[in-house]
């Protein structure tokens, strides 16, 4: 995306969905996790993983070692469990 916009300075805003749309030309769906249950969000991530869809998440404020105002690529959704 930075190559299309000359440099990184030119892409100091926007959303991952906008970048996916520009780079692939494919339709993009966007979801607001604050308006979803954990189960609904997990279903979207699981289905995206199974379909090998490119996914990303953006966070507005930092939490859980994520930096606010940044976007992160999602490679795969995994459900981790422990046995006792």
Residue 82 lies in a domain: no
Segments forming the whole domain that contains residue 55: 8-74
Residue 83: CB partners within 8 Å, gap ≥ 6?
A: none
CA distance 42 to 31: 12
Residue 80 lies in a domain: no
pLDDT score recorded for residue 71: 86
Average pLDDT, the chain: 85
Comparing C-alpha atoms, which of 1, 22, 21 is closest to residue 12?
1
Residue 81 lies in a domain: no
Residue 47 lies in a domain: yes
Residue 84 lies in a domain: no
Bridge partner residues of 71 (DSSP) = 58
Residue 23 lies in a domain: yes
Position 84 pLDDT exceeds 70? no
The number of folded domains in the chain is 1
Confidence of residue 46 (pLDDT cuts 50, 70, 90): very high
Does the predicted model carry a pTM greater than 0.75?
no
Comparing C-alpha atoms, which of 30, 33, 74 is closest to residue 55?
74
Comparing C-alpha atoms, which of 29, 24, 23 is closest to residue 48?
29
CA distance 41 to 34: 10
């Amino acid at each position: 995306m930075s190559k299309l916009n000359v440099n990184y300075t030119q892409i100091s805003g926007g959303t991952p969905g906008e970048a996916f749309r520009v780079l692939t030309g494919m339709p993009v769906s966007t979801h607001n996790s604050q308006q979803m249950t954990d189960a609904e969000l997990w279903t979207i991530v699981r289905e995206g993983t199974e379909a090998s869809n490119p996914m990303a998440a953006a966070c507005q404020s930092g939490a859980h070692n994520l930096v606010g105002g940044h976007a992160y690529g999602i490679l795969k959704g995994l459900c981790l469990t422990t046995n006792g």
